[in-house]
Amino acid sequence: MKVVFFGTPYFAVPSLEILLAHKHFEVAAVITQPDKRRRRGNQLIPSAIKKVALARGIPVWQPRSVKKDANTLAQLEKLAADVFVVVAYGQILSPEILAMPRLGCVNVHASLLPQYRGAAPIQWSLYDGVSETGLTTMLMDEGMDTGPMLLKAKTPVELLENADLLARNLSNMGGELLVETLLKLERDRIKPIPQDEERASYARLIQKSDYALDWSRRAIALHNQIRGFYPHCTAQFRGEPLKIMASAPVGDDYWEDLPPSFSVLEHNWPVLYSGGGAIGEVVCIAKHIGPIVQTGDGLLLLQQVQLAGKRAQSGWDFANGAHLQVGEILHNG
């Protein structure tokens, strides 16, 4: 099966690698986003997909606008590919491109469609506190993740799993699901299923304002925000921004959902926490663990933080280094 692969970030790499390793597929070309300049040194950095393709001797095309680049369109037409595979590419494909391959354009999307269509399904699903998510392969149409569904794969979401960890898990699952989808599609063993529009939801692009923490919210809501938008959520500490990179809701409602490493905290809880505290107040500092903050409803342990201009550090190291005191207040981001 002749394949053209469209993809850009690391999330797409396992899908490309499994196609390259599979004897049934010929990856004829890779299309990825143009190289980007990074702040440090202002150097042009290739995408993760470009690095893999070049290492394997696969032609790489990087049009700024794939649907407007006449040369790219001509080359795609000339290849006469059986299928176009799209995994986190980052550009919209035109009807002209969608109609080119014999079997259509197959997308690997990081949600259980029709829920969480759009640009940031992993982040918003964590923000909403889902206990299960997964992947959907679909035949692309002109809409935003609205095409008929092919196959799905599901995975549970752990309480302390952040967007980075979940993305890596889903990216590895995506390669296997993609191969199964393509083989069944070629053999006419899949019946595309239209999406139920009444169940659809949209995972919009994340804005900078989404990173600001509001301590009047529930502890679990703040935790989901922190892990969903990892590693960017911020509060204010002594008048300076403080990134909260990892957290855990603590207390009787959560012990059974937390890993065994929290058993020491649970055992010492009656001594550590006596109750009360203003919103945003550090109500206790657990030795070798970190500070615990009162929220609008429940308590939040700060597991990893980063002061402005400093490296990330554990909550315990932060408490020691900053000489943090019980009773200090963390303000909203």
Q: Is the pLDDT of residue 123 over 70?
A: yes
Residue 183 lies in a domain: yes
Domain check: are 192 and 290 in the same one?
no
Residue 266 lies in a domain: yes
Q: Is the pLDDT of residue 156 over 80?
A: yes
Of 229, 259, 261, the C-alpha closest to 244 is: 229
Residue 189 lies in a domain: yes
**Average pLDDT of the segment spanning 174-196:** 97
Domain check: are 22 and 136 in the same one?
yes
Domain check: are 111 and 244 in the same one?
no
For the chain, strand residue ranges (E) read 2-7, 26-31, 36-37, 44-45, 60-61, 83-87, 105-109, 117-118, 132-139, 149-156, 202-203, 234-237, 240-250, 282-286, 290-294, 299-307, 313-314
State residue 274's pLDDT score: 83
Q: Is the pLDDT of residue 199 over 80?
A: yes
Query: 3-state class of 194 per DSSP?
Result: coil
State residue 39's pLDDT score: 64
The answer to whether residues 4 and 101 touch, using CB atoms and an 8 Å cutoff, is yes
Percent of the chain having pLDDT more than 70?
Answer: 99
Of 133, 140, 104, the C-alpha closest to 201 is: 133
Residue 328 lies in a domain: no
State residue 38's pLDDT score: 75
Domain check: are 141 and 289 in the same one?
no
Structure confidence by residue, pLDDT tens digits, 34-80:
998 876 667 889 999 999 999 999 999 999 999 999 999 999 999 99
State residue 33's pLDDT score: 97
Q: Which of 203, 236, 254 is the last residue of a domain?
A: 203
The reply, when asked if residue 112 is annotated as ligand binding, is yes
Q: Is the pLDDT of residue 189 over 80?
A: yes
The Cα–Cα gap between 257 and 273 comes to 20
Q: Which of 203, 219, 247 is the last residue of a domain?
A: 203
Of 195, 96, 213, the C-alpha closest to 146 is: 195
Q: Which of 186, 203, 220 is the last residue of a domain?
A: 203
Adjacent-strand bridge partners of 45:
36
Domain range for 263: 208-321
The Cα–Cα gap between 126 and 145 comes to 19
Structure confidence by residue, pLDDT tens digits, 282-321:
999 999 999 999 999 999 999 999 999 999 999 999 999 9
State residue 276's pLDDT score: 84
State residue 43's pLDDT score: 84
The Cα–Cα gap between 175 and 170 comes to 9
The reply, when asked if residue 113 is annotated as ligand binding, is yes
* C-beta atoms surrounding 6 within 10 Å: 25
Question: The domain that contains 174 carries what CATH number?
Answer: 3.40.50.170
Question: The domain that contains 303 carries what CATH number?
Answer: 3.10.25.10
Domain check: are 12 and 116 in the same one?
yes
Domain check: are 39 and 182 in the same one?
yes
Domain check: are 193 and 227 in the same one?
no
Domain check: are 125 and 218 in the same one?
no
Distances 228 to 85, 87, 233, 245, 306 between C-alpha atoms, Å: 27, 20, 9, 10, 17
**Average pLDDT of the segment spanning 104-131:** 98
Domain check: are 90 and 216 in the same one?
no
Altogether, the residues listed in the chain come to a count of 333
**Average pLDDT of the segment spanning 244-269:** 95
State residue 113's pLDDT score: 98
State residue 40's pLDDT score: 66
Domain check: are 185 and 268 in the same one?
no
Residue 326 lies in a domain: no
State residue 42's pLDDT score: 76
Q: Is the pLDDT of residue 244 over 70?
A: yes
Domain check: are 177 and 217 in the same one?
no
Domain check: are 155 and 28 in the same one?
yes
Residue 330 lies in a domain: no
Q: How many domains is the chain partitioned into structurally?
A: 2
Distances 152 to 45, 136, 138, 237 between C-alpha atoms, Å: 33, 5, 9, 44
Residue 282 lies in a domain: yes
Structure confidence by residue, pLDDT tens digits, 15-27:
999 999 999 999 9
Percent of the chain as helix, strand, coil, to the nearest 5: 30, 25, 40
Mean pLDDT score across all residues of the chain: 96
Phi-psi region of 265 (alpha: psi -120 to 50; beta: other; left: phi over 0): alpha
Residue 118 lies in a domain: yes
